[in-house]
Each structure stands twice: as C-alpha cells, then as structure tokens.
C-alpha cells in the first residue's frame, strides 16, 4: 500500500494521516512552518480560546490557509455535554462547518474525558447533523459505544493531554481497533516523539492527532517533519507484515551445508 493512498474521513478524501493542533506555538511563523513541514491537511482550532472576529491582533483564522487546510474546531475547555453542544453550534455558525472535535473534560487536573457527558453530547450532535470526532479514554467499551452512535471518528487518548508520555496502554488500543471496524480510529493526545506516532500506526490506527509534541519541541518544524515520516513508516511497517515475536533465537543464515558438517 502506498502511504500517499487517499483515505476517507467524514466523507472527504485525504492523503496525510497526521492531524495537527494550532495552540502553544511561540509565534505565528513557527506555526505555519510546522504545518508545512508536517504535511497535515487538517488542523484543529479551539473555539472557546480563539478570537473568531473583531478585536485587535491577528486571528488564527487569518493565518491558516483555508484553501488547502480543513479546519476541525474543537470544544476544548468544556466540562458538560450542554457546554460542548453549545460550542459546537457556535463553531458551525461562525466557521460554516459541520465538523467538530468533541472534548468534554471530567477533571481539570488530569484532563481525562468525562465518558458519560461525551456520549450524551455525541448523541445529540450526531442527531443535529454534525460530523463528530470524539475524543475519549482508551476504553474499548466507550469507543464501541461512540462508533455505534455514528461518530465520524473515534479518538482514544494515548496518554493525558500534553503529557508527552506516549502510548501508555497499547493493548487497549489494539482491542479498540478490533472492536471498531466501521469508523476511523485516531490516537489523540499524549504523543511525545516520532516513535510514538509510528507505534500508533503499527497498532492499526488510521491516524494521529497531536499538538504539544510539535508546538513545544525545541525545533517545531523539524519535529513536525519527524512525525510525518514516522506515521508513514509505521503504516508501511504494518502493511509489510512484521515477523512473529519468538522467545528464542533463530539463525538468520541456513545451517545446512556448513563446513565440517
């Protein structure tokens, strides 16, 4: 399989499997450089933390080239289904998009999702015609329930938001991949470096969404390119079919016909 082969997400075809956040960058120039280096075709923006119009200073919307990048507004900062639904409707009106990355946080220290509120909000938003990208825990049951609701993508965390801890529970991610066959599965949050992104793809994920790992790297654009290459490498390795893991050694050279035998 070619890494450039298009894949479908919310009814649209994309080549890149890296979705990139737009917060925490030191300046606008660095953000744009990182986006270009990443090859991302989808970027996320926080509706509750951005200036949509008016005021002074440059808006994030004025920076992002929307002719070649799809905007994925998110409900970051919401802690109830009611707030998330309201934020999604504001995003649809302001940005003229039915896409929404649903985040409903249950604890402001760990930033773990509130699964009950997430399911409630997802159900309402799907009924309202949104393409819901649902961020949730790495809980196979919760992920299956979200897929059953008809979300556009199920997005289990790799580790807590901004932690850079990598994939803390790859076993659950494998189970999620097995249980969710009818919706894209995208690892969201916790990615720290390129090997984490490669591992996610090797586990069968359809894509990776990350922000802090690039935005707070010492050289963001270089890290963005590393993530791009890692996702391609992980996908290629998965499709190539790895060798089985063995308890004991196995000689790589044939033993027949050796001198002295």
Q: Residues marked as binding for 1-deoxy-D-xylulose 5-phosphate?
A: 162, 189-190, 211-212
Binding residues: 162, 189-190, 211-212
Report the C-alpha gap between 138 and 156 in whole angstroms: 5
Q: State phi, psi for 238 to the nearest 5 degrees.
A: -60, -45
Helices (H), the chain: 28-38, 60-63, 81-95, 115-127, 140-149, 170-179, 194-202, 212-215, 220-240
Q: Which residue is catalytic, options 22, 88, 92, 101?
A: 101
Q: How far is CA 243 from CA 27, 121, 145, 237, 238, in A?
A: 44, 42, 33, 10, 11
Token pair recorded at residue 76? 């970051």
Cα of first residue to Cα of last residue in the chain, in angstroms, is 43
Q: Is 82 a catalytic residue?
A: no
Handedness of CA 229, 177, 72, 115 (dihedral sign): negative
Length of the chain: 261
Coil, strand or helix at 194: helix
Catalytic residues, by residue number, are: 101
């Amino acid at each position: 399989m070619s890494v450039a082969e298009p894949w479908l997400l919310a009814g649209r075809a994309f080549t890149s499997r890296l979705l990139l956040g737009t917060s925490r960058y030191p300046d606008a120039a660095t953000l744009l450089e990182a986006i270009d280096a990443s090859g991302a075709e989808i970027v996320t923006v926080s509706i509750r933390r951005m200036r949509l119009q008016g005021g002074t200073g440059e808006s994030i919307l004025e920076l992002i080239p929307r002719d070649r990048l799809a905007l994925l507004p998110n409900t970051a900062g919401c802690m109830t289904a009611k707030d998330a639904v309201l934020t999604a409707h504001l995003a649809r009106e302001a940005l003229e998009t039915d896409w929404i990355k649903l985040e409903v946080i249950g604890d402001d220290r760990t930033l773990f999702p509130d699964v009950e509120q997430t399911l409630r909000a997802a159900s309402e938003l799907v009924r309202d015609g949104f393409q819901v990208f649902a961020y949730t825990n790495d809980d196979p049951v919760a992920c299956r329930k979200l897929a059953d609701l008809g979300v556009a993508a199920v997005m289990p965390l790799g580790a807590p938001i901004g932690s850079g801890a990598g994939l803390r529970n790859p076993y659950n991610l494998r189970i999620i991949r097995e249980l969710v066959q009818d919706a894209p599965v995208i690892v969201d949050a916790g990615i720290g470096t390129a090997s984490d992104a490669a591992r996610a793809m090797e586990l069968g994920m359809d894509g990776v969404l990350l922000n802090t790992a690039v935005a707070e790297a010492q050289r963001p654009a270089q890290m963005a390119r590393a993530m791009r290459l890692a996702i391609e490498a992980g996908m290629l390795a998965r499709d190539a079919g790895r060798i089985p893991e063995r308890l004991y050694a196995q000689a790589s050279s044939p033993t027949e016909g050796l001198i002295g035998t």
